[in-house]
Amino acid sequence: MTAGGAPVAQRTLVLAQPLDLSATVGPLRRGGGDPAVRRVGVGPGATWWWATRTSQGTALLRLQHLRAGGPHGVVEAAAWGTGAGVVVDGVPELLGEEQDSSGFRPLAHHTALVSAWRRHGGVRVLRTRAVFEALVGAALEQVVTGVEAHRAWRDLLCRFGEVAPGGLHDVGSGGPSAPGGPAEGMRVPPSAREWAAIPSWEWLRAGVEERRRSVVLHASRCAPALERTVLLPPERVEPALRTLPGVGVWTAAEVRHRAHGDPDAFSFADYHVAKNVSYALTGEVLDDAGCAEVIECYRGHRYRVQRLLELDGIARPRRAARMTLPRHVPVATGMRS
């Protein structure tokens, strides 16, 4: 506990290479209303807040990129909670400070990628080490739209997550999570045991059917083993994750490019990604197999290609009418839809 809301741990990271903080941290946030991740402000001066669990307990991390202090500026990190020291120590790894992207160079005829690389050269690939946390979020995004998945994540965290550290409850006065603070209302995702204890009807109330719920339940039973996958060589991570029932190539990729910092974790089996990437690079809309051939030349950095094109907003033309959102849970009489 600290008085007056002061951080438990702090550090200043002098950057050795360019950093676009928002583009790098952005994939952590699951929708604009994510209770675990918040951006305050816009542009390069935005402050990011992240509530998470560590081996030492819960933590609330604040990140700010300041342009002074070095050729590429510095990142000021501050954290609250019993896990504060862990997240602050992990900031260089989280932000990919030691990542080597020297082997990535867009081919000249992939003009859209060349342009995106010039504009977003400071984007890096996250490495949170929070494998179970990333897998739960990815499981909720299976087979549904982003709107539905983000609503479920927000609802479940608000009702079953833990209030983020740094509020009146643990610092005595003030603090970022206190009423009126910049992190007010933020929540730490439930622990594996807490996810498993959520009653089945509460999942349905959040719009999550049994198929996705079962993936989370399976993951909760082997959460320690999942966390240990960060110690594996990159080529062994996907096979290890896919031993879990309900985890396929897409879910494994979504975990790898958040928790493991894998720049090659391309989101195959996504409804949009391969089509958008292939269109951006060739002008043709291709399926997964076709896109895989096109981006084979970037093996080792295929997710980096995906992320750069996403940041530039490049997508294939769409001429069809919007699909009606499907229902994935039963409708009960008297329940609000």
- Mean pLDDT score, 60-73: 91
**Are 92 and 145 contained in the same domain?**
no
**Are 154 and 90 contained in the same domain?**
no
**How confident is the model at residue 77, as a pLDDT?**
98
**Are 231 and 146 contained in the same domain?**
yes
The conformation of residue 64, written as its DSSP 8-state character, comes to E
On the question of pLDDT at 42 being above 60, the answer is: yes
On the question of pLDDT at 322 being above 50, the answer is: yes
pLDDT tens column, 200-257: 999 999 999 999 999 999 999 999 999 999 999 999 999 999 999 999 999 999 999 9
- Mean pLDDT score, 26-39: 96
Spell 72-94 as b/e; 16+ CB within 10 A means b. Answer: ebbbbbbbbbebbbbbbebbbbb
d(CA 211, CA 217): 10
- Mean pLDDT score, 162-183: 80
Is 49 inside any structural domain?
A: yes
**How confident is the model at residue 173, as a pLDDT?**
53
**How confident is the model at residue 319, as a pLDDT?**
65
Spell 312-329 as b/e; 16+ CB within 10 A means b. Answer: bebebeeeeeeeeeeebb
Q: Where are the alpha helices (DSSP H) in the chain?
A: 21-25, 84-89, 91-94, 111-119, 131-140, 146-160, 168-171, 192-197, 200-205, 210-221, 223-227, 234-241, 249-255, 273-282, 288-295, 302-311
Q: pLDDT-derived band of residue 316, with 50, 70 and 90 as boundaries?
A: confident
Is 123 inside any structural domain?
A: no
Percentage with pLDDT > 90 across the chain = 82
The secondary element (H helix, E strand) that includes residue 40 is strand 37-40
**How confident is the model at residue 124, as a pLDDT?**
96
On the question of pLDDT at 337 being above 50, the answer is: no
**Are 158 and 247 contained in the same domain?**
yes
On the question of pLDDT at 335 being above 50, the answer is: no
Burial of 20 (0-12, 13-18, 19+ CB in 10 A): middle
**Are 256 and 135 contained in the same domain?**
yes
Is 181 inside any structural domain?
A: no
**Are 9 and 56 contained in the same domain?**
yes
**How confident is the model at residue 218, as a pLDDT?**
98
Mean pLDDT rounded to a whole number for the chain: 91
**How confident is the model at residue 167, as a pLDDT?**
73
Q: What is the CATH number of the domain that holds 198?
A: 1.10.340.30
**Are 247 and 140 contained in the same domain?**
yes
**How confident is the model at residue 3, as a pLDDT?**
39
**Are 95 and 211 contained in the same domain?**
no
Is 164 inside any structural domain?
A: yes
**How confident is the model at residue 24, as a pLDDT?**
97
**Are 161 and 86 contained in the same domain?**
no
- Mean pLDDT score, 291-301: 98
pLDDT tens column, 260-273: 999 999 999 999 99
On the question of pLDDT at 186 being above 80, the answer is: yes
pLDDT tens column, 89-135: 999 999 999 888 889 999 999 999 999 999 999 999 999 999 999 99
Is 158 inside any structural domain?
A: yes
Is 61 inside any structural domain?
A: yes
**How confident is the model at residue 169, as a pLDDT?**
53
Stated pTM of the model: 0.91
Q: Are 309 and 112 in contact (CB under 8 A)?
A: yes
**Are 92 and 158 contained in the same domain?**
no
Of the residues 245, 260, 275, the one at which a domain ends: 260
Q: What is the CATH number of the domain that holds 9?
A: 3.30.310
**Are 97 and 214 contained in the same domain?**
no
Q: pLDDT-derived band of residue 168, with 50, 70 and 90 as boundaries?
A: low
Q: Which domain holds residue 16?
A: 3-101
| Beta-strand relationship, 187-188 and 162-163 | antiparallel
Is 117 inside any structural domain?
A: no
d(CA 89, CA 97): 13
How many structural domains are present in the chain? Answer: 2
Of the residues 260, 293, 312, the one at which a domain ends: 260
- Mean pLDDT score, 57-84: 94
